[in-house]
Amino acid sequence: DGDDELQFRDPEKAEALADKIAEIGDDLPDPPATVMHVCGSHEQSIAKFGLRSLLPDSVRLVMGPGCPVCVTNMPEVDEAVALAEDGVTVATYGDMLKVSGTAKSLDDARSEGADVRVVYGAQDAVELAEDLDREVVFFATGFETTAAPTAAAIKADPPENFSILSAHKYIPPAMDIVAEMPDTEIDGYLAAGNAAIITGHGIFDDIVDRHGLPVVVGGFEPLDILAGLVKLLEHIRDGEETVENAYPRCVTEAGNRVAKEQLWDVFEAVDGEWRGIAHIPDANLELREEYAAHDARERFDIDPSALREASASQHLQECICGDIMAGTADPTDCPLFGEECTPAEPVGACMVSSEGTCKIWQEYGGRP
C-alpha cells in the first residue's frame, strides 16, 4: 500500500545510500564503472526520482535491452499488421499500437479499417475470443513476466478461435550478448526484479561465470535501486564475481516453480532478432509443437511480403534505439530526440513505449 511504498522512498535514507555510493565510487579500480540495468520500470524510477543526479562521475548507469516493446522486431510487427489486414482481430498491449513495422504500425492498420484491440494481457484476449464469433490473435510481446501469463492462458484450454503470435523474448541470453559487446564494456548488471520473481535469481549464476561480472537483482522503489547499486559497486570494487539478491522481499533463488513449469511447457527458446540490437541465440520464445492449434503462425498463412517491400521512412532509418538499448548511446545523442521524434509523434519504438528510454527521458525533460 501507500505506506509500504513510502518506506522505500525515504529521502534521508536515499541520501545515506548516495553517500555510500560516492564513497565506493572513490575506490573503484577502473572508473568510470558502467552499470547496466535491464528494465523499463527501473528506468522509470531512476528518471522520476532523479537518481542519476545522485551518482558520482565514477559511476555510469545505463539502460540495456529492457523495454519489451522496443526489442520487438519489425518483421514481427509486420506479421501482426498482415494478420489484421487479412481480417483477423488482433489484440495486443496498448504500447504496441504505435510501434512501426517496416512500413506501418497496427495503429495505421486500425485507422485503415482493421480490427485491432487493446488488451491488458493474454487472459483478456481469451475473453475477447470467447465474446467474438471470429478469429482472435493475441500479439504476445514481453519478457518472462508476460510470457508466463500467456503460457497460463494457453494451458487453460482457450477457445478454438484464439491463437497467439508470439514475439515473447527471454532476457538472460540478451544479457549474455550485451555483456560481450566490445563498445558497451559493462562492469556489472542490476537485474530486473520482476522477471526474477518468475525465473529466480539462480539463472544469473551462469552469466556471472561466463562474463566475470557481478549481478545484483534489484527492486523498483528508489531505495531498492540505490541499495542494489551499493551492493553492485561494492562487488565491482572488490572484484567479486557473484550474484546477490537485493530484492529478497519478492525474489527467491528458484523463482515461481509453477509459472516456470508452464512457461517452459508451452514455449521453447529459439534464435531470433531483437530490434536494433542483434541476432540472439535462444532469446525468442516460440510455441511448442503441441500447441500448434493456438499458434497463429501455424493457423494462418501470414504473408507480410507486401509490407516489407515498402521502405521504412527516412527518420526511422536514423533511429539509434538499438545503440541506446546496447548501452552505447543516450537518447540525447539522437538528433531526432524531442524534435522530429516525440511521444505524440514517435519515430522509433523507444519513444513509443512507456518503458522506452527515449519516452522516459522526454517525459522527465532530457537527461534525468
Q: Which residues bind ligand SF4 (CB under 6 A)?
A: 319-321, 324, 331, 334, 336-337, 341, 347-348, 350-351, 358
Shortest distance in whole angstroms from residue 315 CB to ligand SF4 = 7
Shortest distance in whole angstroms from residue 55 CB to ligand SF4 = 23
Nearer to ligand SF4 by Cβ, of 195 and 347: the residue is 347
Angle at 321 between CA 317 and CA 327, to 5 degrees: 140
In the block, residue with C-alpha cell 535491452: 65
Whole-angstrom distance, CA of residue 166 vs CA of residue 297? 9
Shortest distance in whole angstroms from residue 275 CB to ligand SF4 = 11
> Is 135 in a helix, a strand, or coil?
coil
Shortest distance in whole angstroms from residue 351 CB to ligand SF4 = 4
Of the candidates 102, 110, 101, 45, which has an alpha carbon nearest to the alpha carbon of residue 69?
Answer: 101
Nearer to ligand SF4 by Cβ, of 232 and 349: the residue is 349
What's the helix, strand, coil split of the chain in %, to 5?
45, 20, 35
Shortest distance in whole angstroms from residue 335 CB to ligand SF4 = 8
Shortest distance in whole angstroms from residue 18 CB to ligand SF4 = 28
Shortest distance in whole angstroms from residue 307 CB to ligand SF4 = 20
Nearer to ligand SF4 by Cβ, of 272 and 331: the residue is 331
Helix or strand holding residue 110 (H, E): helix 106-111
Nearer to ligand SF4 by Cβ, of 46 and 334: the residue is 334
Nearer to ligand SF4 by Cβ, of 13 and 52: the residue is 52
Question: Phi, psi (5° rounding) for residue 21?
Answer: -60, -40
Whole-angstrom distance, CA of residue 20 vs CA of residue 226? 10
Nearer to ligand SF4 by Cβ, of 256 and 357: the residue is 357
- Kindly state the cell numbers that stand for 6: 513510502
How far is the CA of 284 from the CAs of 30, 53, 93, 253, in angstroms? Answer: 35, 35, 18, 23
Shortest distance in whole angstroms from residue 71 CB to ligand SF4 = 13
Angle at 171 between CA 165 and CA 173, to 5 degrees: 105
Nearer to ligand SF4 by Cβ, of 91 and 358: the residue is 358
Nearer to ligand SF4 by Cβ, of 242 and 328: the residue is 328
168: number of Cβ within 10 Å: 26
Contact (Cβ atoms closer than 8 angstroms) between residue 29 and residue 237: yes
Q: At what angle do helices 11-25 and 222-238 cross, to 10 degrees?
A: 20
Q: Which residue is nearest to ligand SF4 (CB)?
A: 348
Regarding beta strands 162-168 and 267-274, do their DSSP bridges make them parallel or antiparallel, or are they unpaired? unpaired
